[in-house]
Amino acid sequence: MKNFGLFASGLTLLLLGAAPAPNAQPLPGFPDIKFSASALEPRGEDGKPLLKIVRADFLEDRKVIVWLLELQTDIGFDELKTIDLKWYNIGSNVGPAAFFFDKDGVALYFREMKIAGKLYQGKKGDRIRVVLEAPNKAFPDAVYMEVRRP
């Protein structure tokens, strides 16, 4: 099923373009690339936030970008289901992902992001990390990155 998810992700990447929001911030460690990570702050069915970005950092020694997220509520089955629907395609274990676009809004490529920490059964105030590997010259020709469900 993972292969189908990757195929669907690649197809989505080819069909979708993007443009940075007017207030987009520079991607940590890559000042020429603007980014949007709003997908990392999903809301529950009641509209209340489930997760909140505390900060985003580039760790030079590890060549990764790390988003620190804080749980805004206790995460039980229903909350996890809501997050999963926003971060993962049905039948896939890939997600969320960083999609990179050129100056014309053409999708260049995407990178899987890794989750570190306890999300399910986590308590309000607990924190998790979302990690994106970012080796030197990792994103050539990219001017915008958006976190999306793959």
Q: Which of 57, 52, 67, 62 lies closest to 113, judged by CA? A: 67
Do 144 and 87 form a contact (C-beta atoms < 8 A)? no
Report the amino acid identity of residue 81.
K
User: What's the pLDDT score for residue 67?
Assistant: 98
User: What's the pLDDT score for residue 122?
Assistant: 96
User: What's the pLDDT score for residue 98?
Assistant: 96
Question: pLDDT tens-digit profile of 85-106?
Answer: 999 988 888 889 999 999 999 9
User: Can you say whether the dihedral through the CA atoms of 91, 85, 14, 142 is positive or negative?
Assistant: negative
Strand order across the beta sheet in which 127-133 lies:
51-59, 64-71, 127-133, 114-116
Q: Which of 135, 116, 77, 109 lies closest to 13, judged by CA? A: 109
User: What's the pLDDT score for residue 24?
Assistant: 84
H helices of 1-150, where?
2-15, 77-87
Residues of the chain with pLDDT under 70: 1-22
**Domain boundaries, given as residue ranges, for the chain:** 2-148
User: What's the pLDDT score for residue 133?
Assistant: 96
